Structure 1
Amino acid sequence: MSEENSSCMPELPGNFSTIFGQTDVAEWEAILTIVTLTFIILVTIIGNVLVILSVFTYKPLRIVQNFFIVSLAVADLTVAILVMPLNVMLSILGRWVFGIHICKMWLTSDVLCCTASILNLCAIALDRFWAITDPINYAQKRTLKRVLLMIGGVWVLSLLISSPPLIGWNDWPEPEEFQRVQECKLTERQGYVIYSSLGSFFIPLFIMTIVYVEIFIATKRRLRERAQASKINAICKNQSALINNKEVQPDRESVSSETNHNEHPEIAANGKTKERKHKKTKKKRKDDNTDNNTYLKPILVHEDSLTDNPETSSISQRRNSNPCTSDNQKITISESTTVSNSPQSKSSHPNKVQLTESTVTIKKPGIVYQFIEEKQRISLSKERRAARTLGIIMGVFVVCWLPFFLMYVTIPFCPSCCPSKRLINFITWLGYINSVLNPIIYTIFNLDFRRAFRKLLGMRP
């Protein structure tokens, strides 16, 4: 809204005489403001530079989806370099002293870089949503070309949102008037305010909210599936152990019969006949168990490209339809048969034979199950961390930017709403702080980024 239609009287610049000249605040407040805001700028620059270097120099982070994070870091870095320093001067002096043309470019850069930062957060949320809900198909679609096209779309859309004031959709004063008021602020044209606020914040906020809720639901569902798979795997292993115990018992009887045969030669012929019948019955029972077993297949949670562990998917696809009695059971039978064909070994070392069979029939079937469960646990742990990090990023994003956009939308439609310069500066810098916090969040919640940061800073891993 133009100045002549506003009921708010413009605040006059302060008359404080400081080492910085005539300022809008007292000298102590000016020094404190400069120190605080300069520290914020330096942290933003260092943090986002570290993020960019980490992705390109640390091999575990050199994956295609992390280019979204690089794009976000570039947007936050441009906010720190192009936008924040001039805002510090405006906050201290209370007036714009760099001319109207620099004012226009500064305001355009402000909208462009902040919008790009927000839209990159939205793109990261969508990428993770697709990776979790459609992992197999999206792993094939998530190519470098596709990611770069999405990043390019983010920056083109940001330019389309920030550029209309440069071509006339604004209420900026003429150069002569501007020289008098020395006020550099975003346009208050109601149409543009609605257009830019929807594209820069409210539509991305809506998309990110829906996406995060879907990610949360999908992660909960996968956790339930993994819990169910673990229960079925435990049942399968217990059933395998019971079957193996039944198979070991006849072996003991066989050993006993052979011992008795050696001690009582007069019943050797009858013993041999019974032993052959027993072996045939035992072999038939094993074959029946192998062919007619009807255990349930455990539900295997597929890995997705987000966790970069495709091995579990390959294993789950190679599994037979009957996991409790597939290759593991066959290994057990062949091992047991091999040992049982050595009666002399059994008779001389019966305990050793039992231990060997126990190891073969109980330990080996659990190896693959333990491997799959471990890979599932790692995958879902990474998904939980990714979803938690995304939720924290989104929560910080809302806390930082919602006050600004509420103020930005309210003022043009509320002539009596006249926030003070200090309140405007505080709310504006609250939005800028979002660019400071993004790399900090990655550092805290992502182990690979922590390692890369330590490596770049020369710290011990």
Structure 2
Amino acid sequence: MSDSNSSCSPDLPGNFSTIFGQTDVAQWEALLTIVTLTLIILVTIVGNVLVILSVFTYKPLRIVQNFFIVSLAVADLTVAILVMPLNVMLSILGRWVFDIHICKMWLTSDVLCCTASILNLCAIALDRFWAITDPINYAQKRTLKRVLLMIGGVWVLSLVISSPPLIGWNDWPEADEFHLIQECKLTERQGYVIYSSLGSFFIPLFIMTIVYVEIFIATKRRLRERAQASKINAISRNQSALISNKEAQHDRESVSSETNHNEQPETNGKPKDKKKKTKKKRKDDNVDNNAYLKPILVHEDSLTDNPETSSISQRRGSNPCTSDNHKITVSESTTVSNSPQLNKVLLPEATATVKKPGVVYQFIEEKQRISLSKERRAARTLGIIMGVFVVCWLPFFLMYVTIPFCPSCCPSKRLKNFITWLGYINSVLNPIIYTIFNLDFRRAFRKLLGMKP
């Protein structure tokens, strides 16, 4: 073993006699710990299995970007199955009761699965960043092959980070010595600690922070632009009402002019010319009005991956804007903003030639309301994503990096266990955070659990 922690006295097995034998904690504490940690394991397994089944069984979720969510769920599921149960045993007994080979495989699985979970979070962040900043081009690049390659890269990189101790970069004892100390813990080789902590946490944390800050800024910018567009639509509505009034007035004047024309003879065709000018002016007014009818462009690949397309399509089925009598189309060159970073997908039905502007405004405002609501929810979710990730994993990696370089730092077993399980809890929360804000996932969960939609 490395002597980097030699000033700390070794933790001795506890002397509590319980139904589980000699344990590190009292019997009541052992029972409470087992019940609590077992519940955490079960919730982790059920939650991540539901996520995986939802993507493969619920048609609206069978899209390529959701394979990142599946990969994350697989990583978290392996943490719950391969890592957590043996840690429960170690937390209660205070010693390792199996041989060194099982210890090595358990520690390797721990690093592998937890690293894969964190790197999958990083891959999801990058995927959403590209989808938001360059949606049109990235939509073409986001193929099944590309997504699977990225997921494969996550798992290969996790294996590269977790495997060096198996080939000698460790301070594990020999089998005879291990049998005496019965202690199974991560290697404290300083070089490997720096290598693994950078690859497993600190570099992904840096990338995720930069990416989510950029997404947050882009979201705020889009909210401002859409709010401005909403004001333009309100002004356009007022102008449309004024134009309609003018047209009614022109109609009355035309009727009056035609009446006077019937009573008076034509002089050099002037009344006819005046009528043509009136029609031309009305046509120009309609052109000017249509210039203000710039629809709000909705980006369906939201930050929380929650386009709610099914709910929109349901409303679209009963919306008068989509009926045969009110078909709406628009030129693809129509935009709300000149920002090149806000390339968005045009609404499938918008407006170029409009006979009933009120219907168009109703359609635009409905899309505007949905879009703004999604953006605000996405902005709030950013804080939850980063906050939970940092709270769960930062304490563990600070402890992991500090102990090999601080001989006098000797955290107790209870503190080590608490910090370790705090990191594991991230695997419980991931399926909640990444699906609870998604309407389709909620519907899929209800369907799988036999609940009413």
Report the TM range for the smaller structure's normalisation.
0.7 to 0.9
| C-alpha distance in structure 2 between counterparts of 1:411 and 1:253, whole Å | 90
- Work out whether residues 392 and 426 of structure 2, in 8 Å CA contact, stay in contact via their aligned partners in 1: yes
Report how far residue 232 of structure 1 moved.
2.2
- Work out whether residues 392 and 425 of structure 2, in 8 Å CA contact, stay in contact via their aligned partners in 1: yes
Report how far residue 297 of structure 1 moved.
5.8
Report how far residue 58 of structure 1 moved.
1.2
Aligned counterparts, 1:188-267, within 5 A: 188-256=188-256
Q: Deviations over 1:261-313 (max 9, x none)?
A: 999999xx999968985x65444553586499976967756555879999999
- Work out whether residues 248 and 354 of structure 1, in 8 Å CA contact, stay in contact via their aligned partners in 2: no
| C-alpha distance in structure 2 between counterparts of 1:111 and 1:336, whole Å | 50
Moved more, 9-18 or 404-413: 9-18
- Work out whether residues 4 and 407 of structure 2, in 8 Å CA contact, stay in contact via their aligned partners in 1: no
Report how far residue 55 of structure 1 moved.
0.9
- Work out whether residues 304 and 438 of structure 2, in 8 Å CA contact, stay in contact via their aligned partners in 1: no
Does residue 42 of structure 1 match 2:46?
no
Larger Rg: 1
Moved more, 227-236 or 149-158: 227-236
SS class of match (1:450): helix
Aligned to 2:446: 454
How has the CA–CA distance of structure 1 residues 239 and 311 changed in structure 2, closer, same or farther, with 3 Å as cutoff?
Answer: farther
Report how far residue 5 of structure 1 moved.
5.6
Moved over 4 A (4+): 256-266, 269-277, 287-344, 351-363
How has the CA–CA distance of structure 1 residues 182 and 334 changed in structure 2, closer, same or farther, with 3 Å as cutoff?
Answer: closer
- Work out whether residues 261 and 271 of structure 1, in 8 Å CA contact, stay in contact via their aligned partners in 2: no
Gaps of 5+ in 1: 345-350
How has the CA–CA distance of structure 1 residues 90 and 370 changed in structure 2, closer, same or farther, with 3 Å as cutoff?
Answer: same
Moved more, 210-219 or 353-362: 353-362
- Work out whether residues 226 and 301 of structure 1, in 8 Å CA contact, stay in contact via their aligned partners in 2: no
| C-alpha distance in structure 2 between counterparts of 1:353 and 1:102, whole Å | 53
How has the CA–CA distance of structure 1 residues 331 and 431 changed in structure 2, closer, same or farther, with 3 Å as cutoff?
Answer: closer
Q: Deviations over 1:138-163 (max 9, x none)?
A: 11111111111111111001000000
Instruction: Give the percent of matched residue pairs that are identical in Structure 1 and Structure 2.
Output: 92
| C-alpha distance in structure 1 between counterparts of 2:187 and 2:333, whole Å | 83
Q: Deviations over 1:157-215 (max 9, x none)?
A: 10000000000000000000000000000000000000000100111111111111100
Report how far residue 340 of structure 1 moved.
39
- Work out whether residues 244 and 361 of structure 1, in 8 Å CA contact, stay in contact via their aligned partners in 2: no
SS class of match (2:302): coil
TM-score (norm 1): 0.81
Computed over aligned residues only, the root mean square deviation of the Cα atoms, in angstroms, reads 9.1
- Work out whether residues 328 and 350 of structure 2, in 8 Å CA contact, stay in contact via their aligned partners in 1: no
- Work out whether residues 100 and 178 of structure 1, in 8 Å CA contact, stay in contact via their aligned partners in 2: yes
| C-alpha distance in structure 2 between counterparts of 1:261 and 1:417, whole Å | 103
Report how far residue 325 of structure 1 moved.
21
Report how far residue 96 of structure 1 moved.
0.2
Gaps of 5+ in 2: none
SS class of match (1:270): coil
- Work out whether residues 229 and 299 of structure 1, in 8 Å CA contact, stay in contact via their aligned partners in 2: yes
Q: Deviations over 1:338-395 (max 9, x none)?
A: 9999999xxxxxx999999999999712433443443344344334434433431221
- Work out whether residues 170 and 187 of structure 2, in 8 Å CA contact, stay in contact via their aligned partners in 1: yes
TM-score (norm 2): 0.83
SS class of match (1:340): coil
SS class of match (1:320): helix
Q: Deviations over 1:21-64 (max 9, x none)?
A: 11111111111111111111001000100011111111111111
| C-alpha distance in structure 1 between counterparts of 2:375 and 2:335, whole Å | 45
- Work out whether residues 14 and 23 of structure 1, in 8 Å CA contact, stay in contact via their aligned partners in 2: yes
